[in-house]
């Protein structure tokens, strides 16, 4: 007997359980039009309020994943491993770790997203490289991965189309903040890429989507459990997003910082977190037996230049100008630099990530709405971070703008208010808060 959407909505509204076959019918109805958007909207709100158990969440993830193409990468040797971050301010680890992992021999098929609000997006950063194409089709995706050992694209129409429909409805109806829906959204896309394992970077803190640690832990546990249930090796690191990662916030400035990191330069926090995530990927990819061995491999490919060369190759393969890797001035540049001086001497005790990210968005580095245009040259450079000594009048950060921005006054206020300067130094806590693992026996 064919179910009725209204009955399933009522059951979920009242705290009941949906069967896998019913969830499959609902997802099919989303694509066929048999279940209209207004009924799906009601169901999403019911899920937000009542939740879903692991079996429901796994069924939803699988149905969304199977709503489109499951990419077959079996012809490419090796275990394919990806990484996903829940997003933050200055969060650019994908552009550092993907070339590192590929240079160590583990293929990295990466389908990334755009930024929205105060968080940046990997695709927006990549598009600051002149000519770089993130819109490859499945054939191009497979070709670049085979040639370069990594590929960096956006979601195609073929991959998890149900997710694209549902995310638009969630965004418009205040139903984004649901752990089962977030889990299904992320994993349906990632598992359709053709991967064997996934490393998650789940952010917590001021600049994170999940600001409370217990919410970040619950999301990490949900994604690891569901990914493992669908046959993938899963590891999650829960990391702090109380201050921006690295020193650059924007698009071109973040690409430049990633290139410097691959040269063996760049901020310590960005390098260390990128290598921690890359090491997890290498163990899941069976290129290393231990995290210590994997970490040594990461440093080796940075020092011998092969990680940077791998990034150069993928830039060229995806239509970008490879000369950018040697000459960072070929990236979009701002017209005006504005320094924000410290009001007193002392030590930086806090740099709030969220207002920094919001300020960058107002400059044009991010989007308040999905249709907003990006200015790839603008952003913010942090000259001081938490724990640093500072003198009165010394620059805390530099605002990169195009001069005539009407929001510059508000940006200046936001950025100035993000810095706290005290008399005594503070201890900066470790970036990695927790680690969760749901994986098969890797060696034996």
Does 405 score more than 70 pLDDT?
Answer: no
pLDDT for 121 equals 82
What is residue 331's predicted lDDT score, i.e. its pLDDT?
97
The residue annotated as part of the active site, out of 91, 163, 233, 269, is 163
Confidence class for position 161, pLDDT limits 50, 70, 90: very high
Residue 217: partners with Cβ closer than 8 Å, 6 or more residues away: 202, 238, 434, 436
Rounded CA gap, 290 and 263, in Å?
25
Interval 323-338: pLDDT, tens: 999 999 999 999 999 9
Question: What pLDDT does residue 439 have?
Answer: 57
Q: Which of 125, 189, 271, 310 is catalytic?
A: 189
Q: How far apart are CA 23 and CA 278, in angstroms?
A: 35
> Are 193 and 240 contained in the same domain?
yes
Copy the structure tokens of residue 218: 């619950």
Domain shared by 252 and 189, yes or no: yes
What residue has token string 């400059």?
363
Quick one: 318 and 337 in the same domain?
no
Range 368-383 average pLDDT: 87
> Per the residue annotation, which of 118, 170, 260, 385 is the catalytic one?
170
**DSSP three-state, residue 326:** coil
Say if residue 443's pLDDT is above 60: no
Whether residue 209 is predicted with pLDDT greater than 90 in this model: the reply is: no
State the Cα–Cα distance between residues 297 and 275, nearest whole angstrom: 10
Q: Do 260 and 344 belong to one domain?
A: no
372, part of any domain: yes
Residue 171: the pLDDT is 82
Number of Cβ within a 10 Å radius of residue 10: 14
Statement to judge: residues 322 and 376 lie in one domain: no
Q: Is 199 exposed, middle or buried (0-12, 13-18, 19+ CB in 10 A)?
A: buried
Give residue-wise pLDDT tens across range 81-129. Answer: 999 999 899 999 999 999 999 999 999 999 887 766 667 688 999 999 9
Domain-located, residue 67:
no
Whether 229 and 314 map to the same domain: the answer is: yes
Q: How many other CB atoms sit within 10 Å of the CB of residue 242?
A: 22
Predicted confidence (pLDDT) at residue 75 exceeds the cutoff of 60: yes
What's 134-188 look like in SS3? CCCCHHHHHHHHHHHCEEEEECCCCCCHHHHHHHHHHHHCCCCCCHHHHHHHHHH
CB atoms within 10 A of CB 441: 6
Q: How high does pLDDT run on average in the chain?
A: 93
pLDDT tens-digit readout, 33-69:
999 999 999 999 999 999 999 999 999 999 999 999 9
Annotation marks residue 189 as catalytic: yes
Identify the pLDDT of residue 15.
96
- Catalytic status, residue 92: no
Return the SS3 of 119.
Answer: strand
Q: What are phi and psi of 26, to 5 degrees?
A: -65, -45
How confident is the model over 402-430, as a mean pLDDT?
90
- Tokens in use for 57? 């969440």
Distance CA 60, CA 390 (A): 51
Tokens of 321: 């100008």
**Would residue 164 count as lying in a domain?**
yes
- CB atoms inside a 10 Å sphere around CB 19: 14
Count of domains forming the chain: 3
Is the domain of 217 the same as that of 339?
Answer: no
What gap in Å lies between CA 364 and CA 351, rounded to an integer?
A: 21
Nearest Cα to Cα of residue 149 among 243, 257, 53, 77:
77
Residue 66 inside a domain? The answer is no
Instruction: Report the CATH number that the domain containing residue 353 is assigned in CATH.
Output: 3.90.1170.30
Which of the following is catalytic: 12, 80, 83, 84? 84
Question: Residue 363 in contact with residue 347, Cβ under 8 Å?
Answer: no
In the residue annotation, 405 being an active-site residue is answered as no
pLDDT digits (tens, 9 = 90+) for 261-317: 999 998 999 999 999 999 999 999 999 999 999 999 999 999 999 999 999 999 999
pTM for this predicted structure: 0.94
| Radius of gyration in angstroms for the set of CA atoms belonging to the chain, rounded to a whole number | 22
3-class state of residue 384 by DSSP: coil
Q: Mapping DSSP to helix (H, G, I), strand (E, B) and coil, where does residue 297 land?
A: helix
Q: What is the CATH number of the domain that holds 32?
A: 1.20.970.10
For residue 124, the 8-state DSSP code is H
| Residue 84 is among the residues annotated as catalytic for this protein | yes
Query: How much of the chain is in helix, strand and coil states, percent to nearest 5?
Result: 45, 15, 40
Q: What is the CATH number of the domain that holds 144?
A: 3.40.1030.10
Do 323 and 395 lie in a common domain?
no
> Is-contact 336 133, C-beta < 8 A?
no
pLDDT for position 441 = 44
Residues 285 and 162 in one domain: yes
In a domain, 350, yes or no: yes
On whether residue 189 sits in a domain, the answer given is: yes
**Does the residue 58 lie in any domain?**
no
287 and 414 together in one domain: no
Residue 172's pLDDT is what?
84
Q: Which domain holds residue 115?
A: 81-327+432-438
Distance CA 140, CA 151 (A): 9
> How many beta carbons lie within 10 A of that of residue 347, not counting itself?
17
Q: Which of 299, 277, 276, 297 has the alpha carbon at shortest distance from 287?
A: 297
pLDDT at 415 over 60: yes
Residues 289 and 342 in one domain: no
**Within this chain, do residues 350 and 317 fall inside the same structural domain, yes or no?**
no
Contact (Cβ atoms closer than 8 angstroms) between residue 88 and residue 204: no
Q: Decide if 248 contacts 128 (C-beta within 8 A).
A: no
Query: Catalytic annotation on 313?
Result: no
What pLDDT does 155 receive?
A: 79
**75 within a domain of the structure (yes/no):** no
Q: Percent of the chain, pLDDT > 70?
A: 97
């Amino acid at each position: 007997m064919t179910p009725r959407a209204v009955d399933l909505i009522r059951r979920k509204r009242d705290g009941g359980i949906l069967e896998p076959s019913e969830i499959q019918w609902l997802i099919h109805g989303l694509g066929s039009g048999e279940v209209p958007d207004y009924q799906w909207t009601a169901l999403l709100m019911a899920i937000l309020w009542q939740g879903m158990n692991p079996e429901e969440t796994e069924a939803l993830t699988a149905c969304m994943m199977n709503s489109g193409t499951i990419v077959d990468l079996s012809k490419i040797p090796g275990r394919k491993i990806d990484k996903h971050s829940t997003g933050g301010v200055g969060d650019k680890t994908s552009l550092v770790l993907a070339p590192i992992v590929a240079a160590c021999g583990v293929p990295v098929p990466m389908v990334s997203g755009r930024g929205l609000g105060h968080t940046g997006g990997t695709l927006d950063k990549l598009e600051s490289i002149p000519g770089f194409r993130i819109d490859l089709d499945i054939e191009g995706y497979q070709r670049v991965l085979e040639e370069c050992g990594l590929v960096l694209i956006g979601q195609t129409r073929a991959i998890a189309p149900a997710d694209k429909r549902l995310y638009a409805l969630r965004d418009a109806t205040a139903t984004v903040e649901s752990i089962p829906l977030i889990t299904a959204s992320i994993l349906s896309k990632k598992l359709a890429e053709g991967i064997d394992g996934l490393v998650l970077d789940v952010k917590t803190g001021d600049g994170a989507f999940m600001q409370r640690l217990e919410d970040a832990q619950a999301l990490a546990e949900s994604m690891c459990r569901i990914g493992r249930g669908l046959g993938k090796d899963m590891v999650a690191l829960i990391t702090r997003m109380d201050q921006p990662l690295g020193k650059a916030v924007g698009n071109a400035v973040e690409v430049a910082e990633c290139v410097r990191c691959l040269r063996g330069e760049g901020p310590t926090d960005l390098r260390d977190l990128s290598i921690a995530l890359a090491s997890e990927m290498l163990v899941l990819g069976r290129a290393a037996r231990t995290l210590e061995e994997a970490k040594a491999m990461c440093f080796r490919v940075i020092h011998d230049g092969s990680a940077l060369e791998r990034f150069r190759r993928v830039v060229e393969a995806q239509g970008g100008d490879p000369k950018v890797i040697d000459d960072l001035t070929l990236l979009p540049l701002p017209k005006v630099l504005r320094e924000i001086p410290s009001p007193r001497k002392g030590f930086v005790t806090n740099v709030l990530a969220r207002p920094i990210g919001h300020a960058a968005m107002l400059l044009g580095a991010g989007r308040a709405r999905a249709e907003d245009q990006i200015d790839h040259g603008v952003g913010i450079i942090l000259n001081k971070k938490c724990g640093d000594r500072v003198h009165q009048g010394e620059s805390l950060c530099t605002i990169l703008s195009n001069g005539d921005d009407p929001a510059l006054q508000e940006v200046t206020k936001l950025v100035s208010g993000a810095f706290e300067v005290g008399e005594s130094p503070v201890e900066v806590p470790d970036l990695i808060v927790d680690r969760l693992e749901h994986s098969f026996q890797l060696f034996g």
